[in-house]
Structure 1
Amino acid sequence: MISYKEYKHGKTDLLIAACDSDLLGKTFHDSEKGLKLEVKKDFYGGSEISAEEFGKQLKKATIANLVGEKTISKAIDLGLVATSSVLKIQGVPHVQIVRGL
């Protein structure tokens, strides 16, 4: 399952925060790159949804913050993310999407 949360701003902006459910509440580090990724429950924690439902919602987003293999694989399958854009922090994939309207 995917943990999914929406943040709306105005009439057109929709930020989606989503992660593989098993990553919720964990922190990952990459000391070589000086990176830290906190998968905080207050930001990513929301509804538990299927990858199929997540894909439907992700298509509506203007901004997305995604963490985890299942979550990012769905975004790649939809053509919203290039594999070359995925950053790995302690082996965990992370990507951000920003789309214009």
Structure 2
Amino acid sequence: MLLRERDTAEGRLVSVCDADCLGETYDNGRATLTVSEEFYGGPEAEEADAEAVVDALHRAQVGNIVGNEAVGIAVEAGLVDEETVLEFDGTRHAQLLWL
């Protein structure tokens, strides 16, 4: 998985995607989801295991998670409710917001 963290005016933004999702665009009939290098990759992104992903999501105010593995880890860790997960062309997507 690719993990990228950055600080914004609104707090820490964490983006996570399965590596094979990078550069892909998915559709679910109502919306499209593009997993861009600019947002999920780049030199700031690092390869991460499940533990690093969970730790980063705990530090985030906002999280964007794409891919079956990445979303599955967030659900398993109790950070994302399965009922809120969206599906795009068989690929899962979730957002996380800590208030």
For normalisation by structure 2, the TM-score amounts to 0.90
Structure 1 counterpart of 2:53 = 54
Task: State the 1:30 CA deviation.
Answer: 2.0
Runs of 4+ displaced beyond 4 Å = none
1:9 shift after superposition: 2.2
Identify, as 1 or 2, the structure richer in strand.
Answer: 1
Residue 36 of structure 1 pairs with residue 32 of structure 2: yes
Cα distance in 1 between the residues matched to 2:72 and 2:2: 14
Q: How does 1:1-101 map to 2 (within 5 A)?
A: 2-10=1-9, 13-31=11-29, 33=30, 35-45=31-41, 46-100=45-99
Tell me, in whole angstroms, the C-alpha distance in 2 between the residues paired with 1:30 and 1:78.
26
Equivalences, count: 96
Q: Gaps spanning 5+ residues in structure 1: where?
A: none
Percentage of identical aligned residues: 31
Question: Aligned partners of 1:5, 1:99: CA distance in 2, in Å?
Answer: 17
* CA distance, structure 1, for counterparts of residue 64 and residue 34 of structure 2: 12
